[in-house]
Amino acid sequence: MFENRRWLVIPTNLTESINFNQVHQSSIGNLRVSNDGTLTFVKYEVNVVTSSFDTTYNNPQTDEDETYTTEAGVYGRPDIYSSDYNEYNHSEILNVLTGSNWVTEIEGE
């Protein structure tokens, strides 16, 4: 489930830098914020290429065959992505979001 979906936990001071055309959330108002107000996250889809491959096509302008190599890697991350921040898959983000910094106790329970 959600095999190609990723979640990126970022500091809330970066929310103005999010391109909302590249993530599932539509605005700053739709972001969930940690209990201490320092973190939020965005979710997005990626394409994972496990092995490099070549694609050959005919260039109609030159009528010559051209080969393009797609390198193994992860494609589709939003511009806000940085390896400085933790990126999670579905099961990993569920563990994070059930932690004390994301769960608020309801009074009376």
Q: Are 91 and 4 in contact (CB under 8 A)?
A: no
List, in order, residues 6 or more apart from 54 with CB less than 8 Å away.
67, 68, 69, 70
Q: Report residue 32 as tokens.
A: 């969930």
Reading the chain (109 residues) residue by residue, the pLDDT tens digits are: 788 999 999 999 999 999 999 999 999 999 999 999 999 999 999 999 999 999 999 999 999 999 999 999 999 999 999 999 999 999 999 999 999 999 876 665 5
Integer Cα distance of 57 and 54 in angstroms? 10
Over residues 66-75, the pLDDT tens digits come to 999 999 999 9
